[in-house]
Amino acid sequence: MAGGSLLTQGLESLGSKSKAIRIKLAELYALDDKLQAAHQQAKRDDDLGEEVVTKYTAFLTCRQQLIAELERQNIAVPWQLRMTIDDLELTVSPRQGEQEHLGDLTSLGSLRPGAHVLVVGDGNFSYARAFLRANSSRIGNSTADNSQPLHVTASSLDTESQLVEMYPRARSILDELHAGGVQVRHGVNATGLESYSFQDEAHGSVLFDRIVFNFPHYAADGGVGNKNKRNKIHRHRQLLLEFFTSATQVLASDGQIWVTLCAGQGGTRLERKQRAVGDTWQIVSCAASTGLLLHDAHFCPVDELAELGYYSVGYQSREKAFWIDQSITHVFCSEAPGRGSFFPIEWTRDVSFWVTDEKLFTEELLLAVVRDHFSSETMTVSMLLLDEYRCVKSNRKSVTYRLDISSSCLALSRDLVNTLAQNALTAIEGSPFGASRAT
């Protein structure tokens, strides 16, 4: 089975939970296919059509029935089934209205007058040029409406001499940036931003409202010359982790970090072609490790940026382009009341223990102990029995349960989940009904 849209994408694993869920899930997939077909026909006819409304209503009814069955079996409800009606994707542009409000790489959203923007790892600086051209009336010493101008700092890892050697056309770009009021910095390592002095005349040291890193890439030995050398994926994840760790130290409390990756790299549900989790950069998990939430994700406006003068370079550290179609921009923010995650992180952890009192033990009692360690206000946790084993010699019964853990408002990192799961297991082992498997 495979989902036909973001409404059902990634639900396949639910089919293994029980026969009732498998049947209802198959029905949901079929209704989703019919809904998408009806909607495409309505778009061709330039009309919403009664058929779409009918299919939509049937889909929502089935979806609610599936949610009820999952809750009855104490199984975590995936984020796809928790999407509100306003969020449901019925067009090729997910959450288009919200995206227009958030903005994209041409605007970086609603920036207050006098906001500070930092662009890191900009290669040939053509993105900074594109942003300048799109916002020239708001950048520089004077603005069109006499408001405070945006303060834009563009940087790259290379020294200026390295830059013009690798990217000869960068010289004219630098000239345009200087003339337009953009501050240019060379030799800036995006994984050590806190070690640099970023200041302006009015405020001294500044924190940034936006930090932008487009197409980060770890290049072994500089990435030059050896076409057969492949960079291990954990190196890219480590680069992201070190960048996020550094960026949070120079980010304003209500600031945002924008990271754009090539198609397939990020590993979110927005990817049009899904990869196995282990084959992605796991950007959301990397960010969560530093306390950042995925506030939004949307497809990069490749054509609009090209019209503004952006072009990709850096393939094998040369002035060669790389494929950026269907690339995705990920927008991160710090945890705060009222902020939610665009794609909540989901984790699974298995716990095993001896049942010391089979008359006392119930799954309801176990779940109550587990939930004491996962706040119901910020996290959702459910469990499923994976295995039972009875020791022939002692007649003791051992059980293994899988915990499904998720949060729509926390940067739920791997370390945090591991700590909470271990605390829950310790509580189980110290309860009247459980004991450690090590005994």
The region of weakest confidence among 82-86, 347-351, 374-378, 425-429 is: 82-86
Residue 231 has pLDDT above 70, yes or no: no
Model pTM?
Answer: 0.77
pLDDT higher at 387 or 44: 387
pLDDT (mean) for 354-374: 95
Integer angstrom CA distances of residue 107 from 15, 76, 123 = 42, 37, 20
**What's the pLDDT band for 313 if we cut at 50, 70, 90?**
confident
Residue 102 has pLDDT above 90, yes or no: no
- Averaged confidence pLDDT in the chain: 85
**What's the pLDDT band for 235 if we cut at 50, 70, 90?**
very high
Residue 224 has pLDDT above 70, yes or no: no
Domain assignments of the chain as residue spans, ordered by start? 12-92, 98-334, 345-435
Integer angstrom CA distances of residue 138 from 115, 177, 251, 261, 290 = 10, 14, 21, 27, 32
Q: Is there a contact between 296 and 333 (Cβ–Cβ < 8 Å)? A: no
3-state secondary structure of 107: coil
> What fold does the segment set 98-334 form as a domain?
Rossmann fold (3.40.50)
pLDDT higher at 258 or 57: 258
Those residues whose C-beta lies under 8 Å from the C-beta of residue 83, and which sit 6 or more positions away, are 7
Q: What is the pLDDT of residue 89?
A: 43
Phi-psi region of 316 (alpha: psi -120 to 50; beta: other; left: phi over 0): left
Q: What is the pLDDT of residue 145?
A: 63
pLDDT (mean) for 353-373: 95
Q: Rounded CA gap, 174 and 178, in Å?
A: 6
Specify the DSSP element, H or E, that contains 252: strand 251-261
CA dihedral 377, 380, 385, 386 (to 10 degrees): -140
User: How many separate helices (H) and strands (E) can be counted in the chain?
Assistant: 11, 13
CATH class for domain 345-435?
alpha beta
Q: Which two tokens stand for residue 439?
A: 């005994």
Those residues whose C-beta lies under 8 Å from the C-beta of residue 46, and which sit 6 or more positions away, are none
pLDDT (mean) for 394-422: 95
**What's the pLDDT band for 268 if we cut at 50, 70, 90?**
very high
Neighbours of 374 (CB within 10 A): 20
Residue 306 has pLDDT above 50, yes or no: yes
Q: What is the pLDDT of residue 20?
A: 84
Percent of the chain with pLDDT over 90: 58
pLDDT (mean) for 391-413: 94
